[in-house]
Structure 1
């Protein structure tokens, strides 16, 4: 099953990620977002705002509908086995969600000394679920790499990469993957 085209990928990233700066799109598989963002803004599907963090892009109501349509079109091409794989991927992913929340809560409460090791242990336990999610949908193929990148930064002492919502932190990428899986699985419901 192929992924949506570049414009569809941008719409999907914005639906899952909310307001994003252009620098965040390569993580979603859109290496050069300027052209798609210009086209989608001109079509009234994406809006651009200035913020203290720079230019941010978000969906208009029409863009939200278009993003849902992209996913719907993609899902329409799935077989029953493909749909079952998506549902199973979500269940496998959710089995680890509570553990990550506890880990991040402990870190935020002062458990900084062992966070690199603890996060690595969690990541190893969740590895099969992450691989299953990546295999279930081309839209999710970037998540294992993004999580590993964040983990490596934490292990190097860059602790902002544990949970900062402004970065591709481990918790942020996990949350986005979780939201992404849920959106697709909700779209499977009749």
Structure 2
């Protein structure tokens, strides 16, 4: 497990406990804790209660690692894939909005099983259609490869009936993982979230 993978996950999540870091990296919490302790010993992450966050040294080191990683990516292929991703991103925004707010603008209180089933069917359909793109992204940039499995895990949990995996922010939910993938794509393309938001492409 590279420093880049661990530091980037900490950055994306802001603060992580051992159990928060484990799922994105495919580690058990004990091993995740050892990784964080090793980074803390090097001054790259800072303990905050039971969690860790990036230190200033960690942010500097991560910026160097990200730039080096970006230099090894086929920029043309990535831009094409990102344009395709943005189309799916617009769909996902609509799905997540539908999960949270009904068409009349009222909050979705999830008391209408038929309505929720319709939203979840849209998510399942989108997931199946985006899988080939996820595989392609993993081939373009190796550190994107785990996103396919993470989204698949979330979708399987949803299909099994646990709808907290749709958009709950404190877990590896579909929305959380998608957001992190988008952040990595923005960085790899040399863009900023602010600029993407201005163009209507931020989730």
State the partner residue of 1:18. 14
State the partner residue of 2:65. 70
* 2:190 aligned counterpart, secondary structure: helix
Any conservation in 2 of the 1:150–1:168 contact (CA below 8 Å)? yes
* 2:125 aligned counterpart, secondary structure: helix
State the partner residue of 2:88. 96
1:100-179 equivalence runs, <5 A: 100-109=92-101, 110=108, 111-179=115-183
Note the C-alpha offset of 1:30. 5.6
Return 5+ residue gaps in structure 1 as ranges. none
Return 5+ residue gaps in structure 2 as ranges. 102-107, 109-114, 192-203
Give me the CA root mean square deviation.
1.9
Greater RCO (CA < 8 Å, at least 6 residues apart): 1
1:72-111 Cα offsets, whole Å, 9 max, x none, are 22233x26xx222222232221121111011111111234
Q: Distance in 2 between matches of 1:62 and 1:37?
A: 14
TM-score by length of structure 2 reads 0.78
1:124-150 Cα offsets, whole Å, 9 max, x none, are 222222222122111111111111111
TM-score by length of structure 1 reads 0.83
Q: Distance in 1 between matches of 2:92 and 2:165?
A: 14
Runs (4+) off by over 3 Å = none
* 1:114 aligned counterpart, secondary structure: helix
